[in-house]
A and B are shown apart, each in its own frame.
Chain A
């Protein structure tokens, strides 16, 4: 699979920029938890970027981790719970060596475990065993 030109963003966007709103507006919505469907549309755009991204990436470097983190944080801001499933052992190993952390994010061996975690998290504060 020759990786053709993957489209990466030219610069790193803040969450507000990703949602196409001002920083003040972002703070306001965050304070009142007012994220609406239009924010979801922007999230979807971001998710499609990440889809290209996983297609082409065979490693998790700090750049990839930053995008993963942005997606995680943003998804959580929308009120959803996030679990990352299926990180391969050698990828996990290299992430640790690199110093990457996924603090406060649930991670699981496979999708089934991940869904079980999310269901369990529903009954607590939405963070599972984390963030307490």
Chain B
């Protein structure tokens, strides 16, 4: 696997992204509860894309670091962007009627997590789950 891309624009897209993530994660040695943790994180960020940007894409890359394989997930959208990332990463903060757990939750569910965003341009989230 080199790169796989899923377009996310609806609830069906959220589900596709999650299932593609599960499928690819098993090929890089991720298993058991890690699969569920990762799928939950994908679900959160994919739903964010649908809710805030309407449409976006999620890329899956297989990566290796220090002899360990992992799955890198890059979620991109050209939505409104996030003005205050520190605030958005706090538990319980939401600009919609959500519970405000999506971003901080996704960070806890994954091993590596990075978010870049510019107001008016969009948001990119990069996250990795490593095999044990």
Give me the interface of A with B, judged by CB distance under 8 Å. Answer: 3, 5-6, 8, 12, 56, 58-63, 65-66, 89-91, 93-94, 97-100
Instruction: List B contacts of A62 (CB < 8 A).
Output: 44, 47, 98-99, 101-102, 105
Chain B residue with minimal CB distance to A4? B12
Contact string against A for B residues 83-107, beta-carbon threshold 8 Å, 1 for contact and 0 otherwise: 0000000010000011101101110
CA distance A5 to B36 in the complex (A): 22
Cβ-defined contact, A59 with B43, below 8 A: yes
* Least Cβ–Cβ distance between A66 and chain B, in angstroms: 6
Residues of A within 8 A of B47 (CB): 61-63
Number of interface residues of B (CB under 8 A): 27
The 3 closest A-B pairs by CB, nearest first: A98-B105, A90-B33, A90-B36
Q: Is B40 an interface residue (CB 8 A)?
A: yes
Q: What's the nearest-Cβ distance from chain A to residue B127, in Å?
A: 13
Chain A residue numbers with a CB within 8 Å of B101 are: 62, 98-100
B39 at the binding interface (Cβ < 8 Å): yes
Interchain CB contact under 8 A, B105 and A97? yes
**In this assembly, does B109 line the interface, its C-beta being within 8 Å of a C-beta of chain A?**
yes
Q: Does B32 contact A (CB under 8 A)?
A: yes
B97 proximity list for chain A (CB < 8 A): 12
B108 within 8 A of A: yes
In the complex, residue of chain A having the shortest beta-carbon distance to the beta carbon of B34 = A90
A98-B109 contact given A59-B43, A61-B44, A90-B33, CB 8 Å threshold = yes
Chain B min CB distance to A81 (Å):
24
Contact check, B43 vs A61: say whether CB atoms are below 8 A apart: yes
Q: Considering only CB atoms, which chain B residue lies closest to A60 in the complex?
A: B40
Q: Are A59 and B98 in contact (CB under 8 A)?
A: no
Verify B33–A94 contact, CB threshold 8 A: yes
Are A93 and B98 interface neighbours, CB within 8 A?
no
**Cα separation A97 to B102 with both chains bound (whole Å):** 11
CB distance B12 to A58 under 8 Å?
no
A89 to chain B, nearest CB (A): 7
The reply to whether B104 and A99 contact each other, CB–CB distance below 8 Å, is yes
